[in-house]
Amino acid sequence: MSRTLIIIGIVLVILGLLWPWLQKSGLGRLPRDIALERDNFRFYFPLTTSIIVSIIITLLFWLFRK
């Protein structure tokens, strides 16, 4: 369990350092990301981005398990 938490922490630090480049790549503004804007209301749900991140995390866990 502690090894998994350390790996998650390292991945989050790496993602935090790479965040400016990830934003420029279009991550977070992909097709099927839901964005609603009204006068005093803004709703944003990154559906496609969430699916891609989930697939990447699943692959990383699968690789570290073997």
Alpha helices in the chain (DSSP H): 2-24, 47-65
> Long-range pairs for 20-23 at CB < 8 Å and ≥24 separation?
none
Q: Tell me the chain's radius of gyration from C-alpha atoms.
A: 15
**Where are the domains positioned within the chain?**
2-65
* Bridge partners, residue 35, by sequence: 44
Per-residue pLDDT of the chain (66 residues; tens, 9 = 90+): 788 889 889 988 998 898 888 777 776 778 888 989 999 999 988 899 889 889 988 998 888 887
* Bridge partners, residue 45, by sequence: 34
